[in-house]
């Protein structure tokens, strides 16, 4: 999915040089998560009962005490204060908290460890990277 991230025009100068990166990390506030959903301590990942009940901090769920979303997007182009990106998994109108350029030396691990249920969650998925 292609999206436009629109930055406050007063911050346009702060974007200078960002177009030299292929990918960005976007942090955003999951503003549609209700207060009652922020008290959950454990869930089944993706609400799948065939997966174990685990703590919310062991998942990527939006139901967190501080509902902050994070995703890596491909930067297509920048025009003034607008960033056209691919892969943003936020809803239209979601407030962006911060944008950072990707740092392959820091973010890409050669041998990450994940729980057994993680592979089960993504088995057969188009988004599977393992």
Q: Give a yes or no: residue 40 inside a domain.
A: yes
Number of domains observed in the structure of the chain: 1
Q: Give a yes or no: residue 128 inside a domain.
A: no
Query: pLDDT (tens digit, 9 = 90+) per residue, 72-122?
Result: 999 999 999 999 999 998 889 889 999 999 988 777 777 778 888 888 887
Helices (H), ranges, 1-130: 104-107, 116-122
What is the arithmetic mean of pLDDT over 14-22? Answer: 97
> Residue 31: is its pLDDT beyond 60?
yes
Q: Give a yes or no: residue 48 inside a domain.
A: yes
Q: Give a yes or no: residue 93 inside a domain.
A: yes
Q: Give a yes or no: residue 127 inside a domain.
A: no
Domain containing residue 57: CATH number: 2.40.30.70
Full domain range(s) for residue 69: 2-122
Q: Give a yes or no: residue 129 inside a domain.
A: no
Q: Give a yes or no: residue 44 inside a domain.
A: yes
Angle, alpha carbons 89-91-93 (nearest 5°): 130
């Amino acid at each position: 999915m292609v999206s436009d991230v629109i930055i406050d025009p007063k911050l346009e100068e702060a974007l200078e040089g960002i177009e030299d990166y292929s990918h960005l990390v976007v942090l955003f506030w999951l503003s549609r998560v209700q207060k009652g959903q922020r008290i959950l301590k454990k869930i089944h990942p993706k609400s799948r009962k065939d997966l174990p009940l685990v703590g919310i901090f062991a998942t990527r769920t939006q139901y967190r005490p501080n509902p902050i979303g994070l995703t890596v997007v491909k930067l297509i182009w920048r025009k003034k204060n607008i960033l056209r990106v691919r892969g943003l998994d936020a809803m239209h109108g979601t407030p962006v908290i911060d944008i950072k350029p990707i740092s392959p030396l820091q973010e890409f691990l050669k041998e990450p460890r994940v729980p057994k249920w993680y592979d089960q969650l993504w088995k057969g998925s188009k988004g599977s990277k393992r």
